[in-house]
Chains A and B, each alone.
Chain A
Amino acid sequence: MTDLHFENVSITYRSSSDRGDVVAVEDVSLDLPAGATLGIAGESGSGKSTLIMSALRLLPKSARLDGRVLLGGQDIRELSFGQIRAVRWAQASIVFQGALHSLNPVREVGQQIIEALEHHSKGTWTTPQKRRDRMFELLAEVNLEASKSSAYPHELSGGQKQRIMIAMALACEPDIIIADEPTTALDVIVQKQILSGLARLVAERGISLLMISHDLAVLSAVCAKLAIMRHGRLVEYGPSDEVCLSPQEDYTKQLAGAFPQIGDPESRLNPRTLKPAEVVRAEPFTMTDEVVLEAKDLSVSFDTRRGRERAVRGVDLQLRKAEILAVVGQSGSGKTTLARSLLGLQEVEAGSQLSFAGKALPKKAKELRAFRQKVQMILQDPAGSLNPKRSVYEAVVEGLKVQGIKDREYERVIGALEAAELTPAEDYLESIPQELSGGQRQRVVIAGALALDPQVLIADEPVASLDASVRGEILSLFLALKKNFGMSALIITHDLGLAWNIADTVAVMKRGEIVEYGEVDRVLSDPQHEYTQELLAAVPRLGSQSLVRNE
């Protein structure tokens, strides 16, 4: 059995740019005894990925490592290239972030698992037949059918690809598995399957697990010990229970608080953040009975290889003035298609009725343009939604130009940026997207929509790609927009906590159908449909190893 120790590790990236040397990790000491589980939590840029890459000497050449990384008592810096190759995969293996991009798209996944075995035959898997048997064994271990071995990556779902990655990591019976954000981009149900799979492996085979994530709840569900990192330094380190439930440091409290506890009245309609958006109206708007956007019997179909598939089936929805409606479901449940059809971006089947302010959705280009001034959408990824070559000013003014609004252009832009709480707005006008953080980009995108003075805002996973602390800020912004301007919002998410945080009503979608629809308090505290119950049960909760113990 192998243990892993980080002793006073500092990692510096040498850089010839203006920024000079960048200290990514500073004086971190951690240890992972054989058979233990350790989670490292931190936001993007906290140095957590850099730290774990050093364990297998996978850092780029520009990185300098100070301190010692001991793997099985050996300093990894002293190993020769041949030795380090033997260590990689055979003693310690990595499940990389983003399984979607780590697999070779032109080879069958079974072959890709066998590849690792070929490099480290270890005297065990010496013949092709033995390697094939081992591959099927591995697929069974991660709960995949043997037939999947001949599938290409694009034929598998996100969760299945992630399981292939885990099977690859397990291939050579390593003592340590390092998992880098293994469940990011997966929805709660698949996340639960992956996490409990990992937890089972740890328990049954005595493998040690080092897992990093930005999500404290995910880590606490599996790991016995937790380390919190910020700006390359260790902030807090201790047993998972203590760190999550009685954090000592302010930063840990903030991280732990960022994740809503569904059912906790304190976070209901109150996303926790250090920088809440200001509610300026003396009497904030509340949900009314006036229906703004309505869909009746909405169905959408796509032509696919396997024939026509219905992505949305007979959905009835109503969005009232100053209402925040959360549409919750797993990936592939048709949420995004639903949102696109509400905007007229997606062709709907005959018989579907869509109306805005009592009138049917226009079909002609000119009328659609006028309609889109009133109903705006915010796309999933703020980084991709902005043209990288255009400044903040150009991005926000784009809608005005398209809609032919010419008067008081500058004032409208400043007004929209301030409403999106990107202040002082003047300082940002000249920035291009790459100079902004994720949260700031999302604010620019929101400002671009607000500049048109819309009545309805549709947001597709507005916080999925953002760090925990920014998540609260953006959510409180949505709440403030509703309270200050009476704006209606339809928010698409896989995150039930988000609904608990800001929504008035929630619609749960499964395979294109709405299975439960009602007020948040009622649906989330007393779910009627079994799918809603399943979703709720899959949400990881703070507190030690909840998933493991439930199994």
Chain B
Amino acid sequence: MSANTPAEAAPGPSSNEPNPRGSETRGSIPVVDGAKLVRERRLNNAKKNWALFRSDVPALIGAVVLLFFIVIAIAAPLIAPASMLDVTKQLDVPRYAPPSLDHPLGTDDLGRELWVRILWGARVSILVGVAATVMSMIIGTIMGLAAGHFTGLFGGIIMRIVDFFIVLPSLLLAIVLSSVLERGVFTIVVAIGLTSWASTARIVRSQTLSVESRLYIERARILGAGHSHILFRHLLPAVMPLVLANTTLTVGGAIIAESTLSFLGLGDTSKESWGTILKNSMDVSAATSGYWWYVLTPGVAILLVVLAFTMVGRAFEAIINPALRSR
């Protein structure tokens, strides 16, 4: 064996105590809080991962873009008061004004500034995207862990439920849900969250199965561990990084789903969202009438946010899985 490791280079056991295991007899051990050591090591790991993230240029660009959209979404009422969306107060503004210095992103069919609509739309679009993703991740992780950990009838039933949601056309289900339930942002969140968790559950289940077969799970059982210890101490930490990376990648999908539903007129029509803007532009045939800014602006906003989430998500993935880094 390599002689440069401290233990094996040492001439022999250095303890002179007569009975190393009977710790009652040894007063020399300083009182150290073991849990603190563990916390410090985790903090160090987090720092290392942060350094890795910072060295990833696309991820940084993505993070900056995201931060920008989140800030403008939060600060929307300060930058552009809600009155700027009130059609009755825009009578003196030209309709369908192309982008210019006075109207940076142009105006719509009712004379509203598109940049104001994008600003306010960001609130709903990002909120729905994130909330629906969180919901789908929570359901997906719980179902995936359960399906992977419990074998037999219980695991089988859970997996059939997952299969059912996978084969269900998710857009169709979302449309049904949002037309049956009361209209509103919350309904959209539920509709998207309920339809998109199944693929997460599949990923989590396969990872759970692979971790489940590792010897250290068997070792935990030998030590006397029950289901809760194995689930929360070994399996959940093992699948968490995967879930996190998956989250950022799913947010993009959820934002697109929200836009789709709004575009189909199933969203909350009283609230601005990027999908609603797209729907309005469609209603007035903006694309064929030459009002390109009306279509392009919300489209580009969606593209930018989804792309930013994806770039950040890929960086997370690379941190979890070093094998991806060189690709």
Using a CB–CB cutoff of 8 Å, the interface residues on chain A facing chain B are: 43, 45, 275, 277-278, 280, 343, 345, 365, 368-370, 372-373, 376-377, 379-381, 384-387, 389, 391, 393-394, 397-399, 401-403, 408-416, 418-419, 421-424, 427-430, 436-440, 445, 448-450, 452-453, 467, 469-470, 484-485
Does B270 belong to the interface (CB within 8 Å)?
A: no
B128 to chain A, nearest CB (A): 34
Contact of B222 among A377, A381, A412, A414 (CB under 8 A): A377
Knowing A387-B216, A393-B38, A410-B34 touch, does A402 contact B224 (C-beta < 8 A)? Answer: yes
Does B167 belong to the interface (CB within 8 Å)?
A: no
Does B21 belong to the interface (CB within 8 Å)?
A: yes
Contact of B219 among A408, A412, A445, A469 (CB under 8 A): A445
For B51, the chain A residues whose CB sits under 8 A away are none
- Count of interface residues, chain B, beta-carbon cutoff 8 Å: 43
CB distance B222 to A384 under 8 Å? no
For B32, the chain A residues whose CB sits under 8 A away are 410
CB distance B1 to A439 under 8 Å? yes
CB distance B225 to A402 under 8 Å? yes
CB distance A430 to B41 under 8 Å? yes
CB distance B215 to A385 under 8 Å? yes
Q: What would 19 more interface pairs be, CB under 8 Å, given A411-B23, A421-B13, A469-B1?
A: A275-B8, A345-B222, A379-B218, A384-B216, A387-B234, A391-B37, A393-B37, A398-B220, A398-B223, A402-B220, A403-B223, A427-B6, A428-B7, A429-B37, A430-B37, A436-B5, A437-B2, A448-B223, A449-B223
CB distance B21 to A379 under 8 Å? no
For B152, the chain A residues whose CB sits under 8 A away are none
Contact of A410 among B19, B22, B31 (CB under 8 A): B31
CB distance B223 to A423 under 8 Å? no
With A and B bound together, what is the CA distance between A403 and B22 in angstroms?
19
B188 to chain A, nearest CB (A): 37
CB distance B234 to A372 under 8 Å? no
User: How would you classify the secondary structure of chain A's contact residues: helix, strand, loop or mixed?
Assistant: helix
With A and B bound together, what is the CA distance between A45 and B4 in angstroms?
13
Knowing A423-B15, A428-B7 touch, does A412 contact B23 (C-beta < 8 A)? Answer: yes
B306 to chain A, nearest CB (A): 31
Over the window 192-228 of chain B, the binary record of Cβ atoms lying under 8 Å from chain A Cβ atoms (1 yes, 0 no) is: 0000000000000000000000111011111111100
Does B92 belong to the interface (CB within 8 Å)?
A: no
Contact of A372 among B2, B8, B31, B224 (CB under 8 A): B224
A376 to chain B, nearest CB (A): 6
Does B12 belong to the interface (CB within 8 Å)?
A: yes
A240 to chain B, nearest CB (A): 24
Does B237 belong to the interface (CB within 8 Å)?
A: yes
With A and B bound together, what is the CA distance between A101 and B5 in angstroms?
31
Does B169 belong to the interface (CB within 8 Å)?
A: no
Over the window 1-41 of chain B, the binary record of Cβ atoms lying under 8 Å from chain A Cβ atoms (1 yes, 0 no) is: 11001111010111100111111001001011110011001
With A and B bound together, what is the CA distance between A419 and B18 in angstroms?
11
Residue in chain A with minimal CB distance to B22 = A415
Does B325 belong to the interface (CB within 8 Å)?
A: no
For A485, the chain B residues whose CB sits under 8 A away are 21
Residue in chain A with minimal CB distance to B18 = A280
Does B54 belong to the interface (CB within 8 Å)?
A: no
With A and B bound together, what is the CA distance between A402 and B37 in angstroms?
19
A306 to chain B, nearest CB (A): 22
Does B229 belong to the interface (CB within 8 Å)?
A: yes
CB distance B226 to A385 under 8 Å? no
CB distance B21 to A345 under 8 Å? no
For A440, the chain B residues whose CB sits under 8 A away are 5, 7-8
CB distance B1 to A470 under 8 Å? yes
Knowing A278-B13, A379-B215, A427-B6 touch, does A389 contact B223 (C-beta < 8 A)? Answer: no
Residue in chain B with minimal CB distance to A386 = B216
5 closest Cβ pairs, A-B complex: A384-B215, A369-B224, A399-B223, A372-B224, A418-B20
Residue in chain B with minimal CB distance to A418 = B20
Q: List 19 A-B contacts (CB under 8 A).
A: A280-B19, A369-B224, A379-B215, A379-B222, A381-B215, A384-B214, A389-B237, A401-B229, A408-B23, A410-B31, A410-B33, A415-B26, A418-B13, A419-B21, A423-B13, A436-B5, A437-B5, A445-B219, A450-B21
With A and B bound together, what is the CA distance between A452 and B223 in angstroms?
8
With A and B bound together, what is the CA distance between A410 and B37 in angstroms?
10
B229 to chain A, nearest CB (A): 6
With A and B bound together, what is the CA distance between A190 and B33 in angstroms?
51
Contact of B2 among A45, A377, A391 (CB under 8 A): A45
B210 to chain A, nearest CB (A): 12
CB distance B14 to A410 under 8 Å? no
For A372, the chain B residues whose CB sits under 8 A away are 222-224
For B34, the chain A residues whose CB sits under 8 A away are 393, 397, 409-410, 413
For A386, the chain B residues whose CB sits under 8 A away are 216, 219
For B224, the chain A residues whose CB sits under 8 A away are 368-370, 372-373, 399, 402-403
A14 to chain B, nearest CB (A): 15
CB distance B23 to A415 under 8 Å? yes
